[in-house]
Chain A
Amino acid sequence: MNKVPLIHVTRRKDIFWVRAWLVRIIAVALALVVCGVITMMATGLNPIKVYAAMIDGAFGTSRRLWMLLQNIAILLCISIALAPAFRMRFWNLGGDGQALMGALGAAASMILIGDKVPNWLLILIMIVVSICAGALWAGIPAFFKARWNTNETLFTLMMNYVAVQLVAFFVIVWEVPKGAGKIGIINQNSNAGWFPQVGGQKYLLNVIIVSVLTILVFIYMNYTKQGYELSVVGESEPTARYVGIKVRRVIVRTMLLSGALCGVTGLLLVGGTDHTLTTTLVGGRGFTGVMVAWLAKFNPVFMVITSFLIVFLQRGATEITTTFGLNQSFGDIITGIILFFIIGCEFFLNYQIHFRKAHKEVA
């Protein structure tokens, strides 16, 4: 007699959305419980206090709330930039590099012509240059993909390193003071090329810009012909060709858009908030954005939620390590566990688990 399998896993056909969200909420709850247990075991701290500190770190003061919004905006910007490429099944892992190139473009404009042109013109030039730089960095692998079907995953990934080295080079060229290996805040006194503050809030403009872009990308992907074309190309290239879509053109066009939006991310960092250029400026958001986009199933509106989640976790993690004097790795562990549960629960959304009913033994 064969062993009766206790559980059996099958693929789900459909899941009612209420149920799907219930599963997700349960996953988050379970993650919090597991994190709590680990926190108690590893540090002896009261987990409720730890969660309270996380929430305090993210929302505790209006300034923290603004910083949370700003970080969400930047992460969201790079995520919506990746979304069209990913919908097209073009695995753009080069968001970091593309954003960095955008940042380089903006910083170069500020440094080189910061005192030579009026501020409105300088900002206009920064916008154009950074968008072009980001688009170029995405367009190169797209062109190679379209023309010679090279592997875009590796290509875009490698372009990140080229971008980092380019930035490292220019940081040395423009370093202040000599030998310092850093540029510092550009035009700290003249503020040339700094985006104006809206409503007296230094982060508000970025938040507004990214909100508008998110809506535009959502419309682009769902309601325009180009958005429809890139979905078809992503689903099936033969189908795209069959209905007369020019696949190569769509690949290059979509990636130019993706890179341009990444470039905007760099622009917002340099012109909007950070006013500097370092190799760590984008800080891996091009990769975090991949996770944001995946979790949201490439839907720009859901990305608001997922990027909020990730930024919240990051800020919360920093806060607990500072408040409780823990090593930063502890915050990463908490973040990791929570993400594990959230991503892991997708399994329960796609698959169903059956418990074998005990039935009569046959002699």
Chain B
Amino acid sequence: MERSPVIELKHITKRFGNNIANDDVSMEVYEGEILALLGENGSGKTTLMNALAGIYYPEDGQIFVRGREVNIHSPRTAFDLGIGMIHQHFKLVDVLTAVENIILGLNEKSRYDLKAAAARITEICDRYGFHVDPFQKIYTMSVSQKQTVEIVKVLFRGADLLILDEPTAVLTPQETEKLFNVLRNMKADGKSIIIITHKLNEVLEISDRVAILRKGKYICEIKTSEASVQQLTDAMVGHAVTLNIDRPVPVDPKDKIIVEHLTIRNSDGVAKLKDISFTARTGEILGIAGISGNGQKELLEGIAGLQKIESGSIRFVDDNGKETELVGMDPRKITDMGVTLSFVPEDRLGMGLVGNMNLGENMMLRTFRHSGGPFIDRKEPFHLAKRVIESLEVVTPSVKTAVRKLSGGNVQKVLVGREISSSPTVLLTAYAVRGLDINSSYLIYDLVNQQKKQGVAVVYVGEDLDVLLELCDRILVLCDGQVSAILDARKTDKQQVGLLMTKLGGEAANE
């Protein structure tokens, strides 16, 4: 290669206590290329990029920018060197407009001139082919719009190396395609881009080169044109992996949860679900597809008794066919009625688990009330925690480790492990594999399938359409809080689902 590297990392080492997050990593990024950074959870991708962005300071190693050694000890230094990072969690002030957010914290001597800034924003947008209204408030924006603001913010500050941490996790296929077009335009303009992602087909689609990390170590780099999904997976995991999702045919499906004309408003009075009707059946996985924020959360929380229901009915059918109305019940009442309902919520550490409590104490959450007397039984939950650690291969120093100290995949294993330990009859999961590496994801798919085989009615809210299409028996597509369609997953394709997600009923919604 004749091109000169924009960034060179040499022997970067970063420790957290006794854990080595990056172990002697060396790599470079060239001008005008898109580099995909690939690795399992906890392999050190984000840490490495944070070192570039000035958030972490490595103990050892050197960083060169255009051949010059630099010390990046703060995000500002990173900006000054033309390095900008778009984080997984957006760092925007909701009540401000796009332009205000973009110039926020800029330390220019010049006047506070919103108009000039807005003009520059429009210019940047035109150049790379995206659209932002500079004067729109952040809280009125969709996720993809917010992401665009983050990218513009970085470009506005003159970045010519952009780092994107899992940018597509929150986007629809159509939005992803748009983003990729923008990235290609930036590449053509000579910018360098590092993209962190788990979705291997996207890696193949967008990147020029793939760098793979495993357990903090730099494993190899592969030219994308010469790579395959299987090859990347094996390199990432360290051994050969089978990438097939099982889909057994449902055995004797019976109605378990009947939802009719369900309407739910959020605390601001906005209708998040409008007149939804569907049925979840035993031994079947019902997938819920939709752009995030289109009522998925409300739907699952509504069934679980966590949302105030405006109108409609949610009925649980027991083995004898007797129907029980769940509307108006809180989670405790639902449990007391003998309805064994498990729920893996989207916000694992904010709702499903308590981050500061250890594994055993988190196991207690569901069962602590079951023992008699005022005292808590600590033994059984800790046994359960040990069983979950063993059966789901949770990587943790001990059962007494705070859950927040575990990696994302292990957190999810703990949560799912607890939820299925009560042998539920209904299992609700929201974005069960979000942020999980490929190994953990397949383990979760297996667990969900096991539940299905045991006759559990599974409702699976997902974002990766490829997975939904492979895993589910039926797919309910939500659009703007309404049922866009309920499809047979074996007979539909990604394009159709994508369309139904963005347009109610879709145009090509023909069977």
Q: Tell me whether B350 and A239 are in contact (CB under 8 A).
A: yes
Q: Total A-B pairs in contact (CB under 8 Å)?
A: 97
Q: Tell me whether B366 and A243 are in contact (CB under 8 A).
A: yes
Which parts of A202-244 form the interface with B (CB within 8 Å)? 223-229, 231-232, 235-236, 238-239, 241-244
Whole-angstrom CA separation of A362 from B18 in the bound complex = 30
Q: Tell me whether B364 and A228 are in contact (CB under 8 A).
A: yes
Closest B residue to A232 by beta carbon equals B354
Say whether B443 faces chain A, with CB atoms less than 8 Å apart.
no
Whole-angstrom CA separation of A362 from B319 in the bound complex = 75
One of A7-15, A35-43, A167-175 contacting the partner: A7-15
Whole-angstrom CA separation of A357 from B369 in the bound complex = 54
Say whether B306 faces chain A, with CB atoms less than 8 Å apart.
yes
Name the A residues within 8 Å of B261 (CB-CB).
Answer: none
CB within 8 Å for A226 and B347 given contacts A10-B56, A239-B352, A239-B353: no
One of B70-78, B175-183, B201-209, B431-439 contacting the partner: B70-78
CB within 8 Å for A1 and B69 given contacts A10-B57, A13-B19, A243-B366: yes
Which parts of B35-82 form the interface with A (CB within 8 Å)? 56-57, 59-60, 62, 68-73, 77
B355 interface neighbour in A8, A231, A235, Cβ under 8 Å: A235
Q: Tell me whether A244 and B332 are in contact (CB under 8 A).
A: yes
B331 interface neighbour in A236, A241, A357, Cβ under 8 Å: A241
Say whether B166 faces chain A, with CB atoms less than 8 Å apart.
no
Q: Tell me whether B405 and A13 are in contact (CB under 8 A).
A: yes
B75-105 vs A, Cβ < 8 Å mask (1 yes, 0 no): 0010000000000000000000000000000
Whole-angstrom CA separation of A223 from B361 in the bound complex = 11
Whole-angstrom CA separation of A244 from B337 in the bound complex = 13
Q: Tell me whether B351 and A228 are in contact (CB under 8 A).
A: no
B333-362 vs A, Cβ < 8 Å mask (1 yes, 0 no): 111000000010101011111111100010
Say whether A3 faces chain B, with CB atoms less than 8 Å apart.
yes
Say whether B321 faces chain A, with CB atoms less than 8 Å apart.
no
Q: Tell me whether A242 and B71 are in contact (CB under 8 A).
A: no
CB within 8 Å for A244 and B57 given contacts A5-B73, A236-B354, A239-B352: no
Name the B residues within 8 Å of A49 (CB-CB).
Answer: none
Whole-angstrom CA separation of A362 from B304 in the bound complex = 61
Whole-angstrom CA separation of A2 from B378 in the bound complex = 54
Closest B residue to A362 by beta carbon equals B69
Q: Tell me whether B56 and A224 are in contact (CB under 8 A).
A: no
Closest A residue to B353 by beta carbon equals A239
Say whether A64 faces chain B, with CB atoms less than 8 Å apart.
no
CB within 8 Å for A231 and B374 given contacts A242-B331, A362-B69: no
Q: Tell me whether B365 and A232 are in contact (CB under 8 A).
A: yes
Q: Tell me whether A228 and B376 are in contact (CB under 8 A).
A: yes
Whole-angstrom CA separation of A236 from B350 in the bound complex = 6
Q: Tell me whether A362 and B62 are in contact (CB under 8 A).
A: yes
Name the B residues within 8 Å of A1 (CB-CB).
Answer: 68-70
Name the B residues within 8 Å of A239 (CB-CB).
Answer: 350-354, 365
Say whether A358 faces chain B, with CB atoms less than 8 Å apart.
no
Q: Tell me whether A4 and B71 are in contact (CB under 8 A).
A: yes
- Closest Cβ of chain A to B160, distance in Å, is 18
Specify the main secondary structure of chain A where it touches its partner. Answer: mixed
- Closest Cβ of chain B to A259, distance in Å, is 20
Closest A residue to B59 by beta carbon equals A354
Say whether A246 faces chain B, with CB atoms less than 8 Å apart.
yes
Question: What is the interface residue range for chain A against chain B?
Answer: 20 to 34
Q: Tell me whether A242 and B17 are in contact (CB under 8 A).
A: no
Closest B residue to A9 by beta carbon equals B57
Q: Tell me whether B357 and A235 are in contact (CB under 8 A).
A: yes
Name the B residues within 8 Å of A241 (CB-CB).
Answer: 306, 330-331
CB within 8 Å for A13 and B57 given contacts A224-B376, A239-B351, A242-B306: no
Q: Tell me whether A2 and B375 are in contact (CB under 8 A).
A: no
Whole-angstrom CA separation of A4 from B73 in the bound complex = 9
- Closest Cβ of chain B to A54, distance in Å, is 38
Q: Tell me whether B351 and A236 are in contact (CB under 8 A).
A: yes
Whole-angstrom CA separation of A226 from B349 in the bound complex = 21
CB within 8 Å for A14 and B17 given contacts A225-B369, A228-B368, A242-B351: yes
Whole-angstrom CA separation of A224 from B372 in the bound complex = 11
A238 interface neighbour in B334, B347, B365, Cβ under 8 Å: B347
CB within 8 Å for A13 and B351 given contacts A1-B69, A225-B375: no
Closest A residue to B332 by beta carbon equals A244
Name the A residues within 8 Å of B333 (CB-CB).
Answer: 244
Whole-angstrom CA separation of A245 from B335 in the bound complex = 12
Q: Tell me whether B374 and A8 are in contact (CB under 8 A).
A: no
Q: Tell me whether B357 and A231 are in contact (CB under 8 A).
A: yes
Closest A residue to B16 by beta carbon equals A13
- Closest Cβ of chain B to A82, distance in Å, is 19
CB within 8 Å for A224 and B375 given contacts A232-B365, A242-B306, A242-B331: yes
Name the B residues within 8 Å of A10 (CB-CB).
Answer: 16, 56-57
Whole-angstrom CA separation of A96 from B76 in the bound complex = 46
Name the A residues within 8 Å of B357 (CB-CB).
Answer: 231-232, 235
Name the B residues within 8 Å of A362 (CB-CB).
Answer: 62, 69
- Closest Cβ of chain A to B63, distance in Å, is 10
Whole-angstrom CA separation of A351 from B378 in the bound complex = 32
Name the B residues within 8 Å of A14 (CB-CB).
Answer: 17-18
Name the A residues within 8 Å of B374 (CB-CB).
Answer: 224-226
Closest A residue to B74 by beta carbon equals A5
A5 interface neighbour in B71, B356, B368, B369, Cβ under 8 Å: B71
- Closest Cβ of chain A to B3, distance in Å, is 22
Whole-angstrom CA separation of A242 from B304 in the bound complex = 8
Q: Can you list 17 A-B contacts (CB < 8 A)?
A: A1-B69, A2-B70, A2-B72, A10-B57, A13-B18, A13-B19, A225-B368, A225-B375, A226-B374, A231-B357, A235-B357, A236-B349, A236-B350, A239-B350, A239-B351, A239-B352, A242-B352
* 6 cross-chain pairs, A with B, having the tightest CB-CB distances, nearest first: A244-B332, A13-B17, A244-B331, A238-B351, A235-B354, A2-B71
- Can you name 19 extra interface pairs (CB under 8 A) apart from A2-B72, A239-B354? A2-B73, A10-B16, A11-B16, A14-B17, A225-B368, A225-B374, A228-B361, A229-B368, A232-B354, A236-B351, A236-B354, A236-B355, A238-B350, A242-B352, A243-B331, A244-B305, A244-B334, A244-B335, A354-B59
